[in-house]
Every structure is written in C-alpha cells, then in structure tokens.
Structure 1
C-alpha cells in the first residue's frame, strides 16, 4: 500500500517535529497521534509542570490546526464551553457566539477542576462531533480532537470525572518525570528561546483527514478481533472488577490498534498492537471492587494482570 507508506512518512515527520519541544516523550507523542488518527480523544493525568499543555500546543502547530483552550475552573459554565446566544439589537435577533469547543485541537485544561455539569458540556461534541444549543445542532470542525488534562484526584479542589465522561476518551495516558539527561537537555533548549515559538507545521489538515480515512482501511484479522473481545469480556467477569469495559471500549481498542499499526507503517494489525494499547484503552473504563481498592490494587495493575492471563487466539490454517 504505497499511499499508506507515503503518509506514514509524514506522520514520522510530525513525531520528529514535536520531539523538538517534547524531550524523551516519544511514546506519549505516538499514543496521542494514535488517538487523533483513530478520531478519538486523549485524557492525560499527571502532576502540574510535566509538559501536558506543551504537548497539545506542539501537536496543533505541527498539524497546522486551529488550537483552542478551555481553562476549567470551579465557576465555569457549560455555555462557556459550547457558546452562547447574544441578542443583536441592530438585527433584532439572537446570534450564536461559538465557544472554544469549536476548534480542531481543543485543550481541556485541568478538566477535573470544574463541576460535573460543566464537564458534561463536552460529551455530545466528543461523541457526536456536534453541539446542540437552543435546540439547534451545529457540526464541529474536522478534525476535532480533545486533549484533556487532569491533576491526580488526590489534589485539592478536584472533581472525579463521571464514568460516562471517562468512557468518551479513547486513551488515558501519563506523562511522567524526565530523566536527568532529558531535564538537562530541556534546560539547554529553553535557556534563551522556547522551541515552541519557532515550531513549523509539517502536515496540512487535508493530509490529516486523508490519513484518518486510510486508517479505517487497515486490515484487522478475525483472530485479532477475537482477542479484543476476549480481553473486554474478561474485564466483565474478573473478580477484582466491579464494572467492566463497555462495548464502546471494544470499538475503541480496535480503532486504536488500527491507527497504531498505521503509524508503525503497516496496513494490518498485530496482536502485539492490541496488547500494548489495551492498558491505555481499558484501565480508565473499569471500576474496582472496594476490596481490591482496599488491598491497594490500581485499575492499571488489574488490567495488566488480565492481559497476561488472556489467551491470544491463533488462526488455524486449512
């Protein structure tokens, strides 16, 4: 598939471009692009100051996308996200003023610092790619990609995201602290000017939309689909899990695996693609039993153990 290889080279250029700003975070960059190409969304959870916002800005600049930012605060209203109708006395009619959700790459910064009511303002847009206000539905721009950041729930002034909101995120990832060498390089690069200020775009929106369409054509064998379903169904009967992964999670894992294979230059999905992505797709979609939580188990630990115990089907040749 020559066209896939060609566009894959462009994706590699995007990764290299973002690495000019993000040092030592190639896995996070690849995961973010995986979600974007799969037409999903990303939730990044980590402490302040590790580069979450810079990643989103670098991605938007590299793709020449319209970047908007929503700074979530306790007093933020749903209309501050979606937009509001304002009366125009000259025209004697109400005019809709679009909110920051009408962008290509939307940064939902510190999303868990606002109330669940305002968090839910993102739900329709993330799932339906449209916004309904005053009974009128308006389509969002394409591509539409939400990268939300949140502080760990132990931090003061945070609200846990509702399960319905979490389920809308294709992937949940962590940034992590840099190594000593990476942090030293970071200081050297930013001693005079920040590299984000001179970052150029290396891919157009039209090319990105073509890439998203070609990701859908990536082949996934029946045995790999069976592996995905096995993983999801195991989460629903695992003794440590109270609420397992929804059918939306099955679709999300399949889409993510196809996008990841595409980024790696393949037109087919391997079981290893699914195995690698499963923790990022599944962990935030489950609820543990109180006994498991009391024992100190985390969602990620339970999912990783589940993956190791799940058999990978093998195609039987005739």
Structure 2
C-alpha cells in the first residue's frame, strides 16, 4: 500500500515511481497493490486514474484503493469510473471506500459544493448508492433508442464481479457492523477508535469479529488488516538509520488515544523479517485474518521501497507462511 508521494515541482516523477513500484510488486509475486487517496496534498488525488494506468502495465496483480473518501465523490460518476477500470484490468479492481465529511470541510466546502455545502449527506447513504450502481440496479426509467444512440438504464460498462470486490474502510465498531450487514469486504487499517479498549490489537480484533458476526458469510467474510512493516534484512546502514529515526518520531502517538476521536495508531514494526514475523504471530488481530496489506512509509525514497518490498516478498512473506504467486 502506497501514498504515491510526489514533488510539487515534478509530479510526473512521483506518479511514475508509484507505477514502477506496482510493476515491481507483480514481478515479486504480491497478490495485490493498494494506493491511498489524498486530496490537496502531495499524494495520489486520483487513484482510479493511477490504477487505470497500472492496469495496462500489469497482467495479474489485483489493484485496490485504500480508501476513496466518498464525501468528495458523486457515487454515480464514481461507479462509471470504477467499472471502466475493472473492465480494463480484466476484473482485478478492489475499490475501498469510506464515509464522513471531507477533511477541512469548512475550508474546502465552497469549492467542492458551492450550492449545496450545508445540505450534503456524508453518511452511509453514499455507499448504498455506490453499491446499487455497481451492482447494476437501474439509475433511470429511460432505456432505448433515441435517434441513432442507444441508452441504458444502468451504469455502463457493467462489470458483474465488481460489487463483490468493494471494500469498506472503517475504524469503529459501528463501521465494522455496518460493513458486515451490507455484505461488503472490510479494511481495518493502522488507525482505529479506542471505544472499549486502549490496546490496538484488541481493538482491531473486536472490529474483525463484529464485522464477521454481522456478515452473511460469517467467518469466511474477507477482512484485510493494514499495518506498517519495515524489514531491514537487506537495508544499508544508512537506510536502517533513516528507518529507525522515522519509527522513533511516530512511536509516541501509539501509546495513548489521540484527539477528541480517541484514535489509536498501530506501532510501526521494524527489524529483520524474523523479528517482525514473531511480532505478527503474537498480534491478536493478525492471527484472525488471512489477508494483510503492508503500508509503505509515506516519506521514503524509491530505492527504499524497492528494498522493503523485496524483503517482504523474499523473506518476511515466507516467514509468515506466504509464497509469491
């Protein structure tokens, strides 16, 4: 999973780097590659466009978004874009979405929704609409021929398997329950809400279990756990020093709930693959899942990502019982 960081003065270079990292992931045998979503920042603002490009550079690896904040989106238009990329990729798209008001909404609302800012609903209805459109339910009562043009009453193109690959990203018990009740897949990341505990692994385990308890597929319902891991097996001394400094800066926020939302952040896992594997095997939530998305640190260089991904595929993965495709 990558944020796709880029330099404002040379954005193409960062985007190409992201595409090259996804290509490397496929060569290394990873099952999937995920891109984060950032608005008005120096990270991927249009993941659907980036994954459309990635779909033409790869042939096997699944491509996901983690996550598209629906407060910025029109679900009907997004459904068209997602279906188009899924068709282009041969059915490899895994769209992850979330709800809630856009970040810094008071500052951006006049640009985003100049006429309806105070009337917009940023709740689950946006997800329901997206699900409906992706599933191929009618969006209009008109279907037929007008002049020389044919019109459909549902989103086109329609990609039949896409709805089963929609993911909901959530960090609260209510979000986990809602995703289960609506038959979605569930993304639980390195940020959760401290509602019943202040132990990250315990919180994440509760999210997974309440999701599956309310999902039609029960214990077979798909959950992907998101964590930051930084294996150092083949890192240079300079890389190790940089990685350790990065983790030191981020560790204080993992000790107690942060802000009014009482957010808990997972500690970054750094060390040799054997050391990281030992920590993961002891992680209560990790033991509950069969899928995990390892997030690349935000601010590292391309060469660092190559080293980290190579170590994950060739050393950490096998330590965890995974084999490259």
User: What TM-score do the two structures reach when normalised by structure 2?
Assistant: 0.31
Higher relative contact order, chain-length normalized (CA < 8 Å, sep 6+):
1
User: What TM-score do the two structures reach when normalised by structure 1?
Assistant: 0.31
Which one has a larger percent helix, Structure 1 or Structure 2? 1
